[in-house]
Structure 1
Amino acid sequence: ENMNLHDIYDGLLETAVTWDDFESNIMTALGTEARLGAKYKTVVDIGEGNGYASRCGLITCFWIGASTDEELPKRVVLKIPSALPFRKLNDSLPKGHRIIEGEERWASMEERLREVHNIEVATYEFFDEFEGLSLPKKYYSKAFCDENRVGGQLCLEYVENSRMMNFHERHSVELLRQIARALGKMQACSLKKEPTAPELNKDFFEVYVNNYPFEAFSGKFKGIFSLDSSEKTKELMEKIDKLLPVYFNSNLPCTIHKQMGFRPVLVNGDCRTENVLIDKDSGDLAEILDWQCTHLGVGVEDLHRIMLFALTSEERRASTPMLVEEMYNSLV
Structure 2
Amino acid sequence: MTLKPKTILENGDGLFDTHVTVEDLEEVIQDQMKTNSKLGKSTKYTVIGEGNGIMSRVILVEPQWTISDDHLPSKFVLKIPYCVHIQGLIGQMLAMNPMSEEQEAGLWAMWESEIQSIHNREVNINKIVEKWDKREDLLNPRVYFSKKYDSENRNKGFIGMEYAEDSIVRHLYVNVKPRELYPVLKFVAHFQASGLHLTDEEKQSISGFDIEKIAGPLMTEDGIKGILQQVRMMNPAKFDEKVKKIEAFGMEIVNFELASNLNKYVGIDQPVLAHGDLWATNVLWKEKKEEWIVSKIIDYQGIHMGNPAEDLVRLFVSTLSGPDRQKYWEELLEKFYNFFLEALQSQKAPYSLEQLKESYRCYFVFGGVGLVQLFGPVTQRKLTMCSPDENVEEYQKVVLGKMEHLLDDVEKFHLHSRNVTKSYKKPVTRI
Scaled to the shorter chain, the TM-score interval is: 0.7 to 0.9
The 1:244/1:75 distance shift into structure 2, 3 A limit, reads farther
**SS of corresponding position for 1:9:** coil
Residue number in structure 2 paired with 1:177: 182
The answer to whether 1:41 aligns with 2:46 is no
Unaligned runs of 5+ in 2: 345-431
The one of 183, 208, 217 aligned to 2:214: 208
- 1:295 and 2:297 matched: no
2:258 corresponds to 1:252 = yes
* TM value normalised by structure 2: 0.68
Match of 1:322 in 2: 331
Following superposition, the deviation at residue 318 of structure 1 comes to: 3.5
Partner of 1:20: 23
- Pick the aligned partner of 2:278 from 271, 274, 277: 271
Q: Is the 8 A contact 2:6 2:155 kept in 1?
A: yes
Pair 173,261 (structure 1): closer, same or farther in 2 beyond 3 Å: closer
**C-alpha distance in 2 between matches for 1:329 and 1:206:** 32
Task: State the alpha-carbon separation in 2 of the partners of residues 201 and 112 from structure 1.
Answer: 12
Residues 268-295 of structure 1: per-residue CA shift (max 9 Å, x gap): 1211111110113341111111111112
Q: Unaligned regions of 5+ residues in structure 1, if any?
A: none
Q: Contact 1:276–1:288 (CA<8 Å) still a contact in 2? A: yes
Per-residue deviation, 1:244: 4.1
Q: Distance in 2 between matches of 1:177 and 1:19?
A: 40
Equivalent residue in structure 2 for 1:187, among 184, 192, 199? 192
Greater per-residue helix proportion? 2
The two structures, once aligned, show a CA RMSD in angstroms of: 3.0
Q: Is the 8 A contact 1:209 1:249 kept in 2?
A: no
> Alpha carbons of 1:297 and 1:149: their partners in 2 closer, same or farther (altered >3 Å)?
same
**Alignment partner, residue 78 of structure 2:** 78
The answer to whether the 8 A contact 2:276-2:303 is kept is yes
Segment of structure 1 superposing worse, 294-303 or 322-331: 322-331
Count residues in correspondence. Answer: 325
Partner of 1:152: 157
Deviations 1:280-329 (A, max 9, x none): 33411111111111121222221222111121233224333332233223
Which residue identity does 1:241 align to in structure 2?
Answer: E
- 2: CA distance between counterparts of 1:18 and 1:304? 38
What aligned pairs does 1:42-121 form with structure 2 within 5 A after superposition?
Answer: 42-67=44-69, 70-84=70-84, 104=105, 105-121=107-123
State the identity as a percent: 27
Q: In structure 1, what is the equivalent of residue 13 of structure 2?
A: 10
1:286 is the counterpart of 2:286: no
> C-alpha separation between the residues in 2 aligned to 1:187 and 1:174?
20
Deviation at 1:64, TM superposition (A): 2.7
The structure-2 alpha-carbon separation of the partners of 1:242 and 1:144, relative to structure 1 and needing over 3 Å to count, comes to: farther
Larger deviation: 21-30 or 232-241?
232-241
| Alpha carbons 2:121, 2:207 under 8 Å: kept | no
- Tell me the secondary structure at the aligned position of residue 63 of structure 1: coil
Aligned residue for 2:52, secondary structure, equals coil
Contact 1:278 1:286 in 2 (8 A): yes
Retained in 1: the 8 A contact 2:209–2:303? no
2:147 to 125, 138, 142: 142
Checking the alignment, whether the CA contact within 8 Å between 1:166 and 1:273 is kept in structure 2 is yes
> Take 1:119 and 1:217, find their aligned partners in 2: how far apart are those partners?
29
Which residue does 1:124 correspond to in 2?
A: 126
Measured after TM superposition, the shift of residue 211 of structure 1 is 4.0
Report how far residue 152 of structure 1 moved.
1.1
Letter in 2 for 1:33: N
Residue type matched to 1:238 in 2? K
Secondary structure of 2:334's counterpart equals helix
User: Which of 71-80 and 119-128 deviates more?
Assistant: 119-128
Q: Tell me the residue number matched to 1:306.
A: 315
- Deviation track 1:29-57 (CA, whole Å, cap 9, x = no partner) reads 222233332x1132111132222222111
Q: Given that residues 53 and 86 in structure 1 are in contact (C-alpha distance below 8 angstroms), is that contact kept between their aligned partners in structure 2?
A: no
Deviation at 1:121, TM superposition (A): 1.7
After TM superposition, give the deviation of residue 82 of structure 1 in Å: 1.6
